[in-house]
Amino acid sequence: SRSRSPPPSWAPCKKRSGLQWRRPRGSDSVSPRSDARAAPLARDARSSTRAPPKFQCSLDMKLVQRLLSPEVQQREPETMQGIAAKLTEAEVEQVFVERVPRVQSFLYRGQPGVHALKFVTKAYRSGLVAFKNTCLHEHLICLLRLIVHYGHANGDSATSHLREVAEAFMDCQAVQARAIERVGLRIRGLAHDFRGLVVGLVGEYKAIAIKMLAAEAIGQFGLREDGDPVHFENRLTQDLGHDLGLNMGDIRRAKLDEHAATRFPRLGRKQRHLFTDRCRELFDVAALIQAFVAEVNGFSESSLPESLPRLFLDWASERLTEKHVVLDEATCTRVDVTSPLAKAILEDLFLGAPDSATDHVYRGRRLSTLFQRP
């Protein structure tokens, strides 16, 4: 017989009334139902991303609790309107063919002869059927037209933007909508201050934690989902979005996912608490800090005025007592922020000041002395 391991404390079990919750007791064990579609997903999740230790260490708990809360939440984007379709379907297709290699071979969910590109051209003209008669229909169709027109005009990074959208059209309309909004808003270049851009970065890592949580539940407990568990992710986004401070745009879009509503019951209060705790355990604050380091250290002469690395220098000049501490010590000609300082910056942004319990020495000075007193 196969060995069976006990489920984690937040583990769901399926009953007639919907998702219920079971806590492990002693040596009790549960074996999830085998699901051919869920098993590869679980293996991928385990091999590609390992859950970090709980809050990495207890000293990170305060920061993680604040980051995954309504206090750190990206607001709902303004609805796009008024972008007309100025290209024919053949011209839309040509925009992608000329800029995205092998796009004509992209298939919808791997189905022979069902080409993703034809769905792109139809969506450009008429929108996504799944969002028809919803508040997002006009918003999404305008953003898709914006993306196509941007590509047609050979805008900066047009190829990568178009590829991201084309690849999304190889999956369901929930995935398509995510990509359209993400890429469209990126092209629009919505103005944010430094804190707002960091909130957006935090939101991306919250979304990764939700994906990990969905993959874990589906893989271990045989919840029926597609190869890409977007609908269960949307169920979690709806039910946990407020408590975790997920992006308001993601919550708005998730609420319009009919498959999420019909396939999975709403989580009850206890279930929400257990899932919320588990999501905070999965949230990789160390990876977030490294991503922040990579962003700010990427500053160059070509950095746009509204970019995160450029706004970071403006923020540092006002908030830090020694501005040069963000530059390399040898030449002071490039941004050189390391993880301890980056963590202190996040604590200052979202907790009001660096955590005194982790007041390390940084370049000969205590981190707390590098920040202006409020």
d(CA 249, CA 255): 10
Q: Is the pTM of this model over 0.75?
A: no
Contact, 141 vs 269, CB < 8 A? no
To the nearest 5 percent, what fractions of the chain are helix, strand and coil? 55, 5, 40
Q: Looking at the predicted structure, is the pLDDT value of residue 7 above 90?
A: no
Q: What is the spatial distance between Cα 289 and Cα 152, in angstroms, rounded to a whole number? A: 36
pLDDT digits (tens, 9 = 90+) for 349-370: 999 988 765 668 888 888 888 9
Q: Residue 126: is its pLDDT beyond 90?
A: yes
- For the chain, count helices (H), then strands (E): 15, 4
Residue 235: per-residue pLDDT: 94
Average pLDDT rounded to a whole number, residues 268-296: 95
pLDDT tens column, 75-124: 877 788 889 999 999 999 999 999 999 999 999 999 999 999 999 999 99
Question: How does residue 9 score in pLDDT terms, banded at 50, 70 and 90?
Answer: very low
Query: For residues 152 and 374, which has the higher predicted lDDT (pLDDT)?
Result: 152
> Which tokens is 26 given?
């002693």
Task: Mean pLDDT check: name the lowest of 31-35, 167-171, 287-291.
Answer: 31-35
